[in-house]
Amino acid sequence: MAIVEVWIDEDACTGCGLCEETCPDVFEVDDVATVKEDADFNEFEEEIKEAAEECPTEAIQYEEEE
Protein backbone atom coordinates (compact mmCIF):
# COMPACT_ATOMS: atom_id res chain seq x y z
CA MET A 1 0.00 0.00 0.00
CA ALA A 2 1.22 3.44 -0.83
CA ILE A 3 1.76 6.08 1.81
CA VAL A 4 -0.39 9.11 1.03
CA GLU A 5 0.26 11.32 4.06
CA VAL A 6 3.01 11.68 6.67
CA TRP A 7 2.88 13.99 9.66
CA ILE A 8 4.53 14.61 13.01
CA ASP A 9 2.80 14.87 16.36
CA GLU A 10 4.75 17.95 17.43
CA ASP A 11 3.65 17.64 21.06
CA ALA A 12 5.21 14.18 21.22
CA CYS A 13 8.40 14.89 19.23
CA THR A 14 11.51 15.55 21.33
CA GLY A 15 13.66 16.66 18.39
CA CYS A 16 16.07 13.75 18.91
CA GLY A 17 17.03 13.70 15.23
CA LEU A 18 16.73 9.95 14.67
CA CYS A 19 14.17 10.20 11.87
CA GLU A 20 16.37 12.60 9.89
CA GLU A 21 19.26 10.15 10.26
CA THR A 22 17.09 7.30 8.98
CA CYS A 23 15.41 9.19 6.15
CA PRO A 24 16.86 12.66 5.45
CA ASP A 25 14.91 12.91 2.19
CA VAL A 26 11.62 13.05 4.08
CA PHE A 27 12.33 14.29 7.62
CA GLU A 28 14.07 17.45 8.73
CA VAL A 29 14.70 18.14 12.43
CA ASP A 30 15.21 21.56 13.91
CA ASP A 31 13.49 22.05 17.29
CA VAL A 32 11.00 19.40 16.23
CA ALA A 33 10.79 17.16 13.20
CA THR A 34 8.97 18.29 10.07
CA VAL A 35 8.07 16.50 6.87
CA LYS A 36 9.70 18.04 3.81
CA GLU A 37 7.17 19.56 1.43
CA ASP A 38 8.57 17.90 -1.68
CA ALA A 39 9.12 14.51 -0.03
CA ASP A 40 8.44 11.48 -2.23
CA PHE A 41 6.51 9.08 0.02
CA ASN A 42 6.54 6.28 -2.54
CA GLU A 43 10.27 6.27 -3.09
CA PHE A 44 10.99 6.24 0.65
CA GLU A 45 8.11 4.09 1.90
CA GLU A 46 10.35 1.58 3.70
CA GLU A 47 12.46 4.30 5.33
CA ILE A 48 9.35 6.19 6.51
CA LYS A 49 7.99 3.04 8.14
CA GLU A 50 11.37 2.32 9.70
CA ALA A 51 11.60 5.89 11.06
CA ALA A 52 8.08 5.63 12.50
CA GLU A 53 8.95 2.35 14.23
CA GLU A 54 12.21 3.72 15.58
CA CYS A 55 10.81 7.02 16.86
CA PRO A 56 11.13 6.85 20.65
CA THR A 57 7.90 8.80 21.24
CA GLU A 58 5.83 7.41 18.33
CA ALA A 59 5.48 10.94 16.98
CA ILE A 60 5.62 9.94 13.31
CA GLN A 61 2.21 9.21 11.87
CA TYR A 62 1.36 8.11 8.36
CA GLU A 63 -1.63 7.09 6.36
CA GLU A 64 -1.70 4.44 3.68
CA GLU A 65 -3.97 4.25 0.68
CA GLU A 66 -6.95 1.93 1.26
CB atoms within 10 A of CB 6: 20
Under rule CB under 6 A, residue 19 binds ligand SF4: yes
Under rule CB under 6 A, residue 3 binds ligand SF4: no
Q: Give me the least distance between CB of 32 and ligand SF4, in Å please.
A: 6
Under rule CB under 6 A, residue 59 binds ligand SF4: yes
Q: Give me the least distance between CB of 63 and ligand SF4, in Å please.
A: 16
Number of residues located near ligand SF4, criterion CB under 6 A: 15
Q: Is 53 helix (H, G, I), strand (E, B) or coil?
A: helix
Dist. CA 48–CA 43, nearest whole Å: 10
Give Cα 18 to chain centroid, integer Å.
Answer: 10
